[in-house]
Structure 1
Amino acid sequence: MTADHRTDNEQPELGRMAQEFGDKPLDVRESTHYKHEYVQTFVDKWDELIDWKGRYESEGKFFVDQLRQRNVRSVLDVATGTGFHSVRLLEEGFDTVSADGSAEMLAKAFANGMKYGGHILRVVQADWRWLNRDVHGEYDAIICLGNSFTHLFSERDRRKALAEFYAMLKHDGVLILDQRNYDSILDNGFSSKHQYYYCGEDVVAEPEHMDEGLARFKYTFPDKSEYHLNMFPLRKDYTRRLMHEVGFQHIETYGDFQSTYRDEEPDFFVHIAEKAYREEVDPS
């Protein structure tokens, strides 16, 4: 958090144009700081980074198929961003609610819903750590995509958020959560196929600083404007362990939408965690 030390319940003013990292940006390691990072000018450029058409083609029907295989009807998109997956799921017939902690992102998502297909998104501003307070009902599935979970810097916050996700799922519900392949970046250095998630060919997204507690990425756009995000570099097995410890019974992890991969190869991991209780089979 920056020097003004806003409390979690205080919302920064809408329409801010400049990011705030203070004099020591590498020391900014707070779960609530994303509110100061997704300023209006950055949000307005976010779709250049994603490239909706490129993202649609790269992921194909992966998420749609995963949800349909589990007979999902209702979906809570807890990190809707500018609305790409919410719009996609609405087009595919899923009953979808769109949540985000950033008011700027929600406004952009709502506008994108109207732009792409005339969808009226049901949007809710919500902090994951108190999701049940801000969003009502139970869902067949919760999705947390776009590397969003890495905005949580403390293990306490990550456990609290996962517990909130778990509580809002129906008894046979599923959580789909993704992350960058931080293991490879930390251990081998950064490389990216720039093919699956951030498909905008004219936007450069690369780490400016990496350590075990901080991944600071810089985003450079064609007009030479630059923005930064400070994130926590989650390791794959750590994320899976937290999911198990919160209560998820069965977890599958895909690398760039493939079930078979070498750990250093994927740009992104997708974890699919089932809540349904699975009885152990007696091997005898």
Structure 2
Amino acid sequence: MSFYNTLSKYYDVVFKQEEKTTEFLLESLQKGDKVLDVACGTGIYSISLSKKGANVIGVDLDSTMIEKAKAKAKRGNFNIEFLQENMIDLKERFGEESFNIIFCIGNSIVHLECKEQIETVIKDYYEMLKEDGTLIIQIINYDRIIEHGITELPLIDRKEEGVKFIRKYEYSPSKEEIYFKTKIIVNENGSRETIEEDNVITLIPLLKDEMYNMFVKAGFKKIDIFGGFNKASYNLNSYALVVRARK
């Protein structure tokens, strides 16, 4: 079983729904809003917003995630469209002024190839928003990672389900890239068989000021920066960087 097939199977165990994240997303929502969930995974937050009356489309590059999201929506009788799409192609796919809210969380946007591509995508999302629309992006606070030389993130250990998720960082200053090394270990119900899958991908360690400047350049008129979905003030030691901006 490949890494992403295994991860999709246990995605909702590893990345459990966070109440503060849901509350943060709902703050921008009005009933009937059209919402785009970029890098939606298995649709956890798409479903949460759909429950509150949003018209949601969820997109993800990984087909196994999308199939799982579709199955969850069908079981719960949620009218959500889940599509396998690349986040760089969404303006061409949906057109301008199509959504009231676009959000891309889970440290997803830094999976793009370079900072220039991230800047283009943020500009695309600006153009895809309706007037007064909201864009929300969340990533790891890479200012903290680089400043403190952090080489791994906290272990995710779901003892009851027998799942561990290990995450390590290797920063290359010369290339301005991070090699993100992950391992998922599964041992369900005390089984003798343990599943281990490894993966390595390249991330773009986007800094807070770089992100802010991209939002300004895109044309956003109100930009708020937080250190987490609890709306704590951002500082160098914040674990996350959350940007919420209005068109």
TM-score (norm 2): 0.82
Deviations for 1:208-241, whole angstroms, at most 9, x for unmatched residues? Answer: 4223312413133233513325222221221111
Corresponding position: 1:106 with 2:66: yes
**Alpha-carbon separation, structure 2, partners of 1:262 and 1:168:** 27
**Alpha-carbon separation, structure 2, partners of 1:184 and 1:72:** 38
The 3-state SS of whatever aligns with 2:102 is: strand
Please tell me whether the aligned partners of residues 126 and 135 of structure 1 are also in contact (alpha carbons under 8 angstroms).
no
Deviations for 1:233-261, whole angstroms, at most 9, x for unmatched residues? Answer: 22122111111112222210111224443
Farther off after superposition, 183-192 or 247-256: 183-192
Measured after TM superposition, the shift of residue 72 of structure 1 is 7.3
**Alpha-carbon separation, structure 2, partners of 1:101 and 1:44:** 16
Amino acid at match of 2:82: V
- Structure with the higher strand share, 1 or 2: 2
The 3-state SS of whatever aligns with 1:76 is: strand
> 2:110 aligns to what?
150
User: 5+ residue gaps in structure 2?
Assistant: 188-194
**Alpha-carbon separation, structure 2, partners of 1:199 and 1:271:** 28
> 2:36 aligns to what?
76
**Alpha-carbon separation, structure 2, partners of 1:207 and 1:193:** 9
Change (3 A) 1:114 1:267: farther
> 2:14 aligns to what?
49
> 1:59 aligns to what?
21
Measured after TM superposition, the shift of residue 58 of structure 1 is 4.6
**Alpha-carbon separation, structure 1, partners of 2:158 and 2:52:** 24
> 2:191 aligns to what?
none
- Count of aligned pairs between the two proteins: 231
Corresponding position: 1:188 with 2:172: no
**Alpha-carbon separation, structure 2, partners of 1:132 and 1:125:** 14
Change (3 A) 1:219 1:250: farther
Please tell me whether the aligned partners of residues 21 and 230 of structure 2 are also in contact (alpha carbons under 8 angstroms).
no
Amino acid at match of 1:126: E
> 2:208 aligns to what?
236
Please tell me whether the aligned partners of residues 110 and 120 of structure 1 are also in contact (alpha carbons under 8 angstroms).
no
TM-score (norm 1): 0.72
Measured after TM superposition, the shift of residue 107 of structure 1 is 0.9
Corresponding position: 1:209 with 2:170: yes
**Alpha-carbon separation, structure 1, partners of 2:154 and 2:218:** 33
The 3-state SS of whatever aligns with 2:180 is: strand
Measured after TM superposition, the shift of residue 87 of structure 1 is 0.6
Please tell me whether the aligned partners of residues 225 and 234 of structure 2 are also in contact (alpha carbons under 8 angstroms).
no
Corresponding position: 1:218 with 2:182: yes
The 3-state SS of whatever aligns with 1:221 is: strand
> 1:264 aligns to what?
236
**Alpha-carbon separation, structure 1, partners of 2:34 and 2:222:** 20
After superposing on structure 2, the runs of 4+ consecutive aligned residues of structure 1 that deviate more than 6 Å are: none
Measured after TM superposition, the shift of residue 199 of structure 1 is 8.3
Change (3 A) 1:199 1:83: farther
Change (3 A) 1:174 1:91: same
Percentage of pairs with the same residue: 26
> 2:192 aligns to what?
none
Please tell me whether the aligned partners of residues 51 and 199 of structure 1 are also in contact (alpha carbons under 8 angstroms).
no
> 1:172 aligns to what?
132
The 3-state SS of whatever aligns with 1:225 is: strand
Q: Note the 1:124-139 alignment, pairs <5 A.
A: 124-135=83-94, 138-139=98-99
- Output the aligned Cα RMSD: 2.5
Please tell me whether the aligned partners of residues 124 and 134 of structure 1 are also in contact (alpha carbons under 8 angstroms).
no
Measured after TM superposition, the shift of residue 120 of structure 1 is 3.8
Amino acid at match of 2:164: V
The 3-state SS of whatever aligns with 2:117 is: helix
Deviations for 1:181-206, whole angstroms, at most 9, x for unmatched residues? Answer: 12111111337567xxx785652332
The 3-state SS of whatever aligns with 1:40 is: helix
Change (3 A) 1:106 1:255: same
